[in-house]
Chain A
Amino acid sequence: MTDNNELIRLSAAALAEKLAAREITAVEVTQAYLDRIAAVDGKVHAFLHVNADEALAVAAEVDAIRAAGGAAAEELHVLAGVPIAVKDLIVTIGQPTTAGSKILEGWHSPYDATVVERLRAAKMPILGKTNLDEFAMGSSTEHSAYGPTRNPWDLDRIPGGSGGGSAAAVAAFEAPLALGTDTGGSIRQPGAVTGTVGVKPTYGGVSRYGAIAMASSLDQIGPVSRTVLDSALLHQVIGGHDPRDSTSLPDPLEDLVAAARTGHVEGMKIGIIKELHGEGYQAGVENRFNESLELLKAAGAEIVEVSCPNFKYALGAYYLIMPSEASSNLAKFDGVRYGLRVLPEHGPMTIERVMGATRAAGFGDEVKRRIILGTYALSAGYYDAYYGSAQKVRTLIQRDFDAAFAKADVLISPTAPTTAFKLGEKLNDPLAMYLNDVATIPANMAGVPGLSLPGGLADEDGLPVGIQLLAPARQDARLYRVGAVLESLLEAQWGGPLLDKAPSLTAPSLSDSSPAASTAGAASSHGGSH
C-alpha cells in the first residue's frame, strides 16, 4: 500500500498500472482523493459538488471485478478505477449541474452527457463537479455565481478560466484527471496558469452532447491532467464519433496514447507563430517559451517562423461569433421548464415578465453582457457587418492555419500572454480579461487542436507559464507526440514535475512559504505572498 500523499501525486497512467497489478485498490485511490478534497478544497474551492458515495461505489465495483478475475477483469478499461472530476458545464445524472449559474441552481439533468456515459463505461469514479465561470464565460473563474476558485500556486491569484475548477483540482492533487470545455481557451489557459496539461481536441473530435452550449461552433470538451500521457489516455476514453452530435467527426480515433508514449520531434518542423509572442507577452513568459524552443531544437526539431497575419482579427471576430451563438443558446433558460423561476414583484404576471425577471435574477453580469452583445450583433441591419464579417475572418484564420501548416508540422506559442493575475485585478476591465485568450482563440476559430503544457515558472513572479502546441485538424496525435518529448526534456531540466514545486496547501506555515522553488527556470521567485 502506498502512502496517501504519494498516491494522490501519482499520474493517472501510474495509478492505472498499480491498479492493474493490484498493488493498490480503486477504493484506496478514490478515498485518498476524497480526503485530499476535504483537506484543501476549503482553500481552493475547485469543486461545486463532491460525489463521494457514487465514486466509492464505482471504485468498489472495479475492485470487486479485479478481485474476481477472469474475463470481466480482463475487459476492464485501462483507466477503470482512476478517479476523475467533471467540469460543471457537463451534465450528469445523479449530481447537480449548475454551469456556475444561479439560474440552474439545484437542477439535476435527466440524462448523461456522452462523455460522462463513456467515463461510466470505463468505470472511472467521478469525484464531483468543478467550478467555472458562469456558463464558461470568463478567463478567471471569478464569474462563477458560487464564488471564485483559487490558484493552488498562490491562493490570491486566479486559476484561469473558464475551467479554473478542473485545472485547480488537478494542480492541487484533488483529482488526477478532469474534463474541461474549451471555447476560446477555457481548457488551455487554466492549464497554463496552474502548471497542468490541457487539450482542446479537433472540433468534432469529442462529442458535445451534454455540454451546456456557450458557442456551439467553438465549444469542445477535452482532457485536463498533470501529464501529456494522462491527457492522451483520457482523450482516448472520451473521443470518437457520437451519432447524437451532428458535428461529431465520423473518423475513427487515432492511437493518441501510442503517440504520447513514443514521442518524437526529430526532423519535425515546428513553427513559431510570429503574431503570438513578443509584444504584449510578459517577459518571463517569453523566456520560458524561448527555452522550450531551444530544447526542441536540441532534440532535433527544425524551428521555422510562420506568419498568420489575420490572427490579429481573431479576438474581435471571436467576440462577435461567441456572444451571437451564446445569446441564442442561453435563450432556453427562461424559468418555464426547469431551473430558477422568479416572479416579478410588481405589475402584471405575464409570461414575458416572468421570463424577464428570471433572467435578470438568474444571470450574472458577464453573461448578460455577452447576451446583449450577441443579440445586437445578430439584429437585422447589423448581421452582415458583425456576424457576417466575423465569419469571413474565421475563413481567413483557417487559411492562415493552412498556410502555416504547409510550412510546419506543428505550431508553437505561449498559451497565455501572462501568468496568473490577482483575483479582482481584471474583473472590472472586460477587455483586459478578454486579451488573456488572444493566443488560444485562433484554434477554436479554425477548429484545430491545441495542447497546453507547463513550460516552467516565470522569472518575475515564480508562477507557471504555459506552452501551446497546435496541429492541423484531425492530427491531434502530433500534439501528444511533440508534447511528450518537450515535457520530458523540461522535467529532466527541473528534476521532476513542475507541480512538485507548488505549495503543499496543507503545510501549517503555508502563508509564509514561497509558492515555487527557483530551480524551474525562474531566476527568483517572489510571487505568492500568501
Chain B
Amino acid sequence: MTDATLSFEEAMEKYDPVLGFEVHVELNTKTKMFSSAPNVFGDEPNTNVNEVDLGMPGVLPVVNKTAIESSIKIGLALNCKIAERCRFARKNYFYPDTPKNFQTSQYDEPIAYDGYLDIELSDGTMFRVEIERAHMEEDAGKLTHMGGATGRIQGADYSLVDYNRSGVPLVEIVTKPIEGAGSRAPELAKAYVAAVREIVKNLGVSDAKMERGNVRCDANVSLRPHGRERFGIRSETKNVNSLRAVEHAVRYEIQRHAAVLDSGEPVTQETRHWHEDTRTTTSGRAKSDADDYRYFPEPDLVPITASREWVEELRATLPEPPAARRKRLQADWGYSDLEFRDVVNAGVMDEIEETIAAGATATVARKWWMGEIVGRAKNADVDPGQLGVAPATIVELNQMVEDGKINNKMATEVLDGVLAGEGTPAEIVEKRGLAVVSDDAPLLEAIDAALAAQPGVADKIRGGKIQAIGAIVGAVMKATRGQADAGRVKELILERLGV
C-alpha cells in the first residue's frame, strides 16, 4: 500500500516543516562500552563477546574510559557544555537483541548538552542547528529474521542474533526542533548529517562509515500550517543510513504528511521504515509518549565525573573544525569555489593536502587526484584514498613529466602500473621500457616521413597555418609509439619547415 503524497512544492506552499535528528555514532574504541570484548566490525557472529556482552548471570559493567573521552570530544566539537557529573541509567524493555533486556544508556543526565552546529548549505547560506544533548549508550545486537519473505520479524520462521555489536559504544546526538528551514529542509537534513559525520571522522573517534552503520540517523519530521507556532505531530523515520537517503526521506515525509493533513486526518505519531528501493517510508511501530522504559539510575555504575581540567586537556587536543579547515585550505590552495567543492565532494581533500605536503603544487595535486585517481576509484568502487596511491608517488610521477623523462600519456600508464602493484614509478618506467625519445635523429626521420606522406599539411604550415601541425605531430607520435616528447616534436617540425 502506498501512502498518498503531495508534490513537494505544494507541500511547501501550505506547510512549514520542523525537523529533528537523532544521530547515533558508533565509537571506534578498541573494546566495548562496558566490557573488554573487542569492538570489531564484520567478524564471525558471536565471536567478539564475553560473559558481559551476553548478559550472563552475575556480570557487571565497567565503563570504557576512552569512550568517555571520545564522547566529551564530540560534545566539545558540537559546542556543548560538558556535565561535571553524570550518570548512566537503565532503559528497560524486553527484546532479544538486548541481552540484559535493558539498555544501559544515559537518560536525564547526558555527558554533553546545549550545543550547536553551523551548517553551510550549497549556496553558502549558514544555518544553525541547536544540539539538545549528546549522550552515551551501548549498541544492541543484530537480529536476522529467517524464512519470511520480507526479512522482517513478522512472518519469519526464526531469528538469529549476533551479539558482536552488543555493547559497542554509541554516542547519540539529539537536536532541538529545527525550525525555519522551509523548502531547504531536505538539503539541510543531508548537510547536517554530513557535518556530524565529518566531525566525528575528523575527531578520529569513529570510523564514520554510514554503510557499516557507524553513523545512523533517525529523522523526525512534522508539518504545521504557515504562521502557526505549535508543532504538528511528528513521525520518526528510523535508520536512514546514507546521506542521500536522509535527504530523500525528509522530502518524502514532508510530502506524505502534507497529504495526510490535507485530507483532514491527524498525522499518526509513529516510527517509519525507510525503503531505499522505492524511496518511500512505511509505518513501523505506533509510538506514543506513554512508552514506558522504567528508567532508573544504573546501580552497577558509579557516576562519571569530568573534571574541568580534564575537559580542557581534551579540548586542547581537538583538531581544527572541518569547516574552518576547509576555508583555510581553499585560501591556501587558491582553488575557485567550484574547484574546491568538487574536491570536497570527491572526498580527496585530505589526499590533496598530503600531496602538497609531499612537495606538489596545489594545481598539480588537484590535476592528479581529480583528473586521474578519482575516476579510477569510481571504477573500482572504492574511496579514492583507499586506492593506495601515496602522495610521494604523485610527486615522483609529476617530477618525471616535468623533467621530460616521460610524457603525460606515459605517466598515466605508470600510474596504472603503480595501482597494479608493479613497483615504484621509476621501476615501472624501467620495466616497461617507457622513456621519451630524446635523441632527435629518429624523430627527424619520422617527421620527414610524415611530411612526405602529407604534403598538403606541410604546405599549410609553411603558409602560416601553424595549428595544422597537430596532424604531423600525431603521425610522429604514432610512429614512435608515443615515446616522443610532443613539445620537442613540434619544435623540430617547425625547424624542418623553416617556419
Contact = CB atoms under 8 A, between A and B. Distances in A.
A246 B301 contact: yes
Contacts of B161: 336
Interface string B126-161: 000000000000000000000000000100000101
Interface string A76-109: 0000000000000011000001010000100101
A209 B60 contact: yes
A246 B61 contact: yes
B58 A212 contact: yes
Interface in B72-105: 90, 92, 94-96, 99-102
Contact of B99 (A212, A337, A352, A387): A337
Contact of A246 (B60, B90, B100): B60
B51 interface: yes
A209 B60 CA distance: 6
B58 A209 contact: yes
A104 B59 contact: no
B10 interface: no
Nearest to B292: A380
A351 interface: yes
Majority SS at the chain A contact face: loop
A352 B94 contact: yes
Interface in A96-136: 97, 99, 104, 107, 109-111, 113
A109 B56 contact: yes
Given A91-B57, A351-B159, A352-B94, A244 B62 contact: yes
Interface in B290-318: 290, 292, 294-296, 299-302
A334 to B, nearest CB: 6
Interface string B318-353: 000000000000000000000000000000000000
Contacts of A217: 299
A31 B107 CA distance: 54
Contacts of B159: 351
Given A246-B61, A246-B62, A332-B55, A379 B294 contact: yes
Contacts of A383: 294-296
Given A324-B296, A331-B92, A380 B290 contact: yes
A328 interface: yes
Nearest to A242: B60
B292 A246 contact: no
B40 interface: no
A255 interface: no
A213 interface: yes
A104 B63 CA distance: 28
Interface string A230-257: 0000000000000111110000000000
A293 interface: no
B294 A328 contact: yes
B57 A99 contact: yes
A287 interface: no
B486 interface: no
Contact of A97 (B57, B61, B295): B57
Contact of A110 (B51, B62, B92, B301): B51
Nearest to B90: A328
B296 A387 contact: yes
B296 A109 contact: no
A201 B203 CA distance: 44
Nearest to A90: B58
A159 to B, nearest CB: 24
Interface centre among B54, B56, B290 (most CB of A within 10 A): B56
B101 A334 contact: yes
Contacts, number: 103
A331 B294 CA distance: 12
A338 B163 CA distance: 14
A152 to B, nearest CB: 29
A334 B296 CA distance: 21
A196 B314 CA distance: 54
Interface in A368-403: 375, 378-380, 383, 387
A246 to B, nearest CB: 5
Given A244-B62, A378-B296, A380-B290, A336 B57 contact: no
B58 A351 contact: no
A104 B57 contact: yes
Contact of B58 (A113, A337, A375): A113
B281 to A, nearest CB: 25
A224 interface: no
Contacts of B153: 351
B294 to A, nearest CB: 4
A173 B153 CA distance: 56
Contacts of B96: 334, 336, 351
A111 B92 contact: no
A211 interface: yes
A111 B101 CA distance: 21
A337 B301 CA distance: 24
Contacts of A282: none
Interface residues of A, number: 44
Interface string A474-509: 000000000000000000000000000000000000
A208 interface: yes
Interface in A314-346: 324-325, 327-328, 331-334, 336-338
Interface in B26-67: 51, 54-63
Given A209-B60, A245-B60, A111 B51 contact: yes
A334 B56 contact: no
A91 to B, nearest CB: 5
Contacts of A379: 292, 294
A380 B294 CA distance: 6
Given A324-B296, A325-B299, A331-B101, A109 B60 contact: no
B58 A210 contact: yes
Contacts of B95: 351
B102 to A, nearest CB: 6
A378 B54 CA distance: 25
A380 B290 CA distance: 8
Nearest to A359: B94
A519 interface: no
A375 B60 contact: no
A208 B302 CA distance: 14
Interface centre among B54, B63, B292, B294 (most CB of A within 10 A): B294
B197 to A, nearest CB: 32
Given A111-B51, A324-B296, A334-B101, A244 B60 contact: yes
A332 B290 contact: no
A211 B92 CA distance: 21
Contact of B100 (A97, A110, A209, A332): A332
Given A247-B302, A337-B54, A379-B294, A332 B60 contact: no
B58 A328 contact: no
Contact of B62 (A243, A338, A378): A243
B301 A109 contact: no
Contacts of A210: 58-59
B63 A246 contact: yes
A310 interface: no
Nearest to B51: A111
Given A244-B62, A337-B99, A378-B92, A328 B56 contact: no
11 contacts: A91-B57, A107-B57, A109-B51, A209-B58, A213-B300, A247-B300, A328-B90, A332-B100, A375-B294, A378-B92, A380-B292
Interface of B: 51, 54-63, 90, 92, 94-96, 99-102, 153, 159, 161, 290, 292, 294-296, 299-302
Q: Which 4 A-B pairs have the closest CB atoms?
A: A331-B101, A378-B294, A216-B299, A217-B299
Interface of A: 90-91, 97, 99, 104, 107, 109-111, 113, 208-213, 215-217, 243-247, 324-325, 327-328, 331-334, 336-338, 351-352, 355, 375, 378-380, 383, 387
Given A215-B299, A327-B92, 13 more contacts: A104-B57, A109-B57, A110-B51, A210-B58, A210-B59, A212-B58, A244-B60, A247-B301, A334-B96, A337-B54, A337-B56, A338-B57, A351-B159
